[in-house]
Amino acid sequence: NAGVTQTPKFQVLKTGQSMTLQCAQDMNHEYMSWYRQDPGMGLRLIHYSVGAGITDQGEVPNGYNVSRSTTEDFPLRLLSAAPSQTSVYFCASSSLGTGAYEQYFGPGTRLTVT
Amino acid sequence: AQSVTQLDSQVPVFEEAPVELRCNYSSSVSVYLFWYVQYPNQGLQLLLKYLSGSTLVKGINGFEAEFNKSQTSFHLRKPSVHISDTAEYFCAVNRNTGGFKTIFGAGTRLFVKA
C-alpha cells in the first residue's frame, strides 16, 4: 500500500493564482482531512470529509474549497492564492470503523505564495 | 470546544537521558488523546493513543504517556532517548463521540544532543 500520497511536493504561486493540491489514499478510509502547518501553531484543520459526497469545514476554511467524488481522492483548491496561505499542507485519512480517528498523514506540500 | 497546550516549545536533552514532554488539554466532554511525531521533512505518524482503560499507554520507539483526568494532562515520557528521537512531537485531542475535528497542540521540538 502506498498509504496517503500528495502532489506536488513543492509549489510557488503568485498572488491571485489558483491551484489544486492533490491527495489520494489506498486504504479505503472513509475519513479524509486537510491541515495546514505554520510555525508555532501546530496543525489546523481546513476541511474534512467523512465519505464520498460529504464535506465539512474545519477551523480555517476561508480561501479553500474541497470536494470528495470518490473514497480515494480529496483535492484541496485554492481559489485565489494569498501570501497568508504560504504554509505546509498535509492530507490525512482515517478509518471511522475503528472509532478512534487515528490518522495517517501524507508527506506534505510546501506552498509559497509571493 | 477542546484545546491543547504543549507547555514547552523546545526541549534539549543529552543522549541516554530521560525526557518528558508536557501536554495539557481542556474539554467539556470525554476525549481521546494522541501523541504524533514528525521527523524532519516528513508527515506525522502516530506514537501512541489513549482511548479508555489503563491510564498508562505504551507506544512505539519506547515512548509512553500517562493520562491524568484530574489534571487534564497527557505527558509523554521516554526513559532514555537516542539521537534518532530528534523530531517534533504533537499532542492531539478528539471528542470520543462524533468528533471529527482533531485539535493539535503547537508542538514540542525535541533536540537530542550527543
A106 → closest Cβ in B32, B43, B100: B43
Q: How far apart are CA B48 and CA B69, in angstroms?
A: 17
C-alpha cell at A10: 513543492
Residue A75 and residue A67 in contact, taking contact as beta carbons nearer than 8 Å: yes
Chain B window 76-95: which residues touch A at a Cβ cutoff of 8 Å? 90, 94
Q: What is the DSSP letter of A18?
A: -
A61 interfacial to chain B (CB closer than 8 Å): no
Residue A80 and residue A21 in contact, taking contact as beta carbons nearer than 8 Å: no
Per-residue model confidence (pLDDT) at position A84: 96
Mean pLDDT of successive 10-residue stretches along chain A, which has 114 residues? 92 97 96 93 92 93 96 97 97 81 91 97
Q: How far apart are CA A29 and CA A91, in angstroms?
A: 13
Per-residue model confidence (pLDDT) at position A92: 95
Q: How far apart are CA A26 and CA A56, in angstroms?
A: 22
Rounded to an integer, the average pLDDT of B9-23 is 97
Per-residue model confidence (pLDDT) at position B99: 64
Residue B88, exposed/middle/buried by CB under 10 A (0-12, 13-18, 19+)?
buried
B109 interfacial to chain A (CB closer than 8 Å): no
Site of grid cell 492564492: A81
Site of grid cell 485531542: B93
Residues B65-105 have pLDDT tens digits of 999 999 999 999 999 999 999 999 999 998 766 667 888 99
Residue B2 and residue B25 in contact, taking contact as beta carbons nearer than 8 Å: yes
- Phi first, then psi, for residue B62 (nearest 5°) are 80, 5
Chain B window 27-66: which residues touch A at a Cβ cutoff of 8 Å? 32, 34, 36, 41-46, 49, 51
